[in-house]
């Protein structure tokens, strides 16, 4: 699995493509799906729970506030130093939780809970504690649940990590991006290696089961040599997991990116060298390549899930948890309930207005068709297991795989000839090299993408 991918191949595969945290992708959501449709999906789950067999829930809470803007950021966030704004937001979150409890009843089992943003640590320890108390009152957080939070190293302290551990968080993610001072200045995110090291040490001392580090390549003023130094420093910190993202420069869509000087961005050839160097560096440091842009130490649960074929994928990326219904709370957050996807209002005024009316703040979503469910099963098998067994798909969806996907199988032939996958009589198997292009392989089965042919709205695979 830990094969070093040739730079020539990386160069050839450098095209845009979806990340497939869902299928269909979020750009396919429609405004015809609103609060009524979401309420119906919740009721279907509630009715199913009386019979048994409903999956546990996963919860995602979006905290949009940040004290300062990072120029590369494409997240939904609100830049403010006025911490008093969080009080109204917490009130709204608690009201949104109550809306769900009214439909589902109290005590629904939750196996995964994630605080994202923005910067969740914009909230005070007391505010996070208040929210955790309400969540525990409303849901049953099961033993062994993954409870994770994203942390901004610039505003966190070892004392805060101790407090978070005391509140039950057992997984933590640090947004690092790059340690080079010139790059940090160029993207308006300055944080020293020493300060991050102290936080990693504190996280371990306070018993966090898994520590993740986020990195980005392709940022302004980055070079293959400077990024190699960051890779070495990250390897020395030894986080359990690493997420390595490619920067997508889309200033027309994301206003903060307009502050980045295009002439300071590394060229395509340099980006490829950065990615190739990072892959080689992490593998040499003993990390397992999980898939796409994720790495984990061999002893981490994500590596175990990868080896055992238990890897799953949700809106937060790769997960060890089985498929769950996902309740997404807060402005702009995206959830999954049964055979539906839904997204909350993207602005605070819209979000607050819906909550004040006692309505779910859903502004768009999608009810999946039979074909969507079939293709989702195939795409997630590719993204998570790297293998599609025809028989399992045929039995679950009552089709003949070679007939239903005749055009797709034909389009996969060049990938097979290039050594990225093997097409057998009963299966499709991604090769070690093919894992670096797994998004591209999955895209072949994306009916919506095949129909439109428009990939430019997505980030580049390399």
Tell me the pLDDT band of 246, cut-offs 50, 70 and 90: confident
Rounded Cα distance between 459 and 16, Å, is 5
Among all chains, which residue has been given the structure tokens 């981490």?
A: 300
Residue 418 has a CB neighbour count (10 Å cut-off) of 15
Q: Taking a C-beta distance cutoff of 8 angstroms, is the pair 315, 334 a contact?
A: yes
Options 3.90.1150.10, 3.20.20.140, 1.10.10.920, 1.10.540.10; which CATH number does 1-24+369-462 get? 1.10.10.920
Query: What tens digit of pLDDT does each residue of 328-346 get?
Result: 999 999 999 999 999 999 9
Question: Annotated binding residues for [4Fe-4S] cluster, as ranges?
Answer: 66, 70, 73
Q: Taking a C-beta distance cutoff of 8 angstroms, is the pair 423, 210 a contact?
A: no
* CATH code for the structural domain at 55-327: 3.80.30.20
Residue 425 has a CB neighbour count (10 Å cut-off) of 6
Query: Using CA of residue 247, residue 251, residue 257, residue 261, what is the dihedral sign?
Result: positive
Rounded Cα distance between 226 and 181, Å, is 10
Q: Which residues make up the CATH 3.80.30.20 domain(s) of the chain?
A: 55-327
Query: What tens digit of pLDDT does each residue of 247-261 get?
Result: 988 898 888 999 999
Residue 195 has pLDDT above 50, yes or no: yes
Query: What tens digit of pLDDT does each residue of 442-460 get?
Result: 999 999 887 776 555 565 5
Q: Which residues make up the CATH 1.10.10.920 domain(s) of the chain?
A: 1-24+369-462
Tell me the pLDDT band of 20, cut-offs 50, 70 and 90: confident
β-strands 241-246, 334-337 pairing: unpaired
Question: Annotated binding residues for S-adenosyl-L-methionine, as ranges?
Answer: 60, 72-74, 117, 150, 177, 189, 214, 248, 334
Rounded Cα distance between 152 and 186, Å, is 18
State both tokens at 209.
């089961």
Question: Annotated binding residues, as ranges?
Answer: 60, 66, 70, 72-74, 117, 150, 177, 189, 214, 248, 334
What DSSP element (H or E) covers 244?
A: strand 241-246
Rounded Cα distance between 428 and 417, Å, is 13
């Amino acid at each position: 699995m830990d094969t070093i991918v040739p730079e020539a191949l990386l160069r050839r595969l450098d095209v845009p493509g979806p990340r497939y945290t869902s299928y269909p992708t979020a750009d396919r959501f429609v405004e015809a799906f609103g609060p009524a449709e979401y309420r119906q999906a919740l009721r279907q789950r509630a009715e199913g729970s009386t019979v048994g067999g409903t999956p546990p829930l996963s919860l995602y809470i979006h905290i949009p506030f940040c004290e300062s803007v990072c120029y590369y950021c494409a997240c939904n966030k609100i830049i403010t130093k006025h911490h008093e704004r969080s009080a109204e937001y917490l009130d709204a979150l608690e009201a949104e939780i109550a809306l769900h409890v009214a439909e589902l009843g109290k005590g629904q089992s939750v196996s995964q809970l994630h605080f994202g943003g923005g910067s969740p640590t914009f909230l005070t320890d007391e505010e996070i504690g208040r929210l955790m108390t309400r969540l525990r009152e409303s849901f049953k957080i099961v033993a062994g649940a993954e409870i994770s939070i994203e942390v901004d190293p610039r505003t966190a302290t070892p004392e805060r990590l101790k407090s978070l551990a005391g509140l039950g968080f057992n997984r933590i993610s640090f947004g690092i991006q790059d340690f080079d001072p010139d790059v940090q200045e160029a993207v308006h995110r300055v944080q020293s290696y020493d300060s991050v090291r102290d936080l990693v040490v504190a996280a371990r001392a306070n018993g966090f089961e898994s520590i993740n580090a986020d990195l980005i390549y392709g940022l302004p003023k980055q070079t293959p040599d400077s990024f190699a130094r960051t890779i070495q420093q990250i390897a020395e910190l030894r986080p359990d997991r690493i997420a390595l993202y490619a920067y997508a420069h889309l200033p027309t869509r994301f206003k903060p990116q307009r502050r980045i000087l295009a002439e300071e961005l590394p060229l395509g050839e340099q980006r490829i060298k950065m990615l190739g160097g990072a892959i080689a560096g992490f593998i040499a440091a003993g990390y397992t390549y999980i898939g796409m842009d994720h790495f984990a130490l061999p002893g981490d649960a994500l590596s175990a899930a990868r080896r055992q074929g238990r890897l799953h994928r949700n809106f937060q990326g790769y997960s060890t948890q089985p498929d769950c219904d996902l309740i997404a709370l807060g402005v702009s957050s995206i959830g999954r309930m049964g055979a539906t996807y839904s997204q909350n209002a993207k602005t605070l005024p819209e979000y607050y207005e819906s909550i004040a009316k006692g309505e779910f703040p859903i502004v768009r979503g999608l009810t999946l068709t039979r074909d969507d469910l079939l293709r989702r099963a195939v795409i997630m098998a590719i993204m998570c297991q790297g293998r599609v067994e025809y028989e399992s798909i045929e039995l679950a969806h009552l089709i003949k795989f070679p007939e239903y996907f005749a055009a797709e199988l034909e389009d996969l032939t060049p990938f097979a000839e290039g050594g990225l996958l093997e097409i057998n009589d009963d299966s499709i198997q991604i090769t070690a090299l093919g894992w670096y292009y797994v998004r591209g392989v999955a895209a072949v089965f994306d009916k919506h993408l095949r129909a439109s042919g428009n990939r430019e709205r997505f980030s580049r695979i390399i």
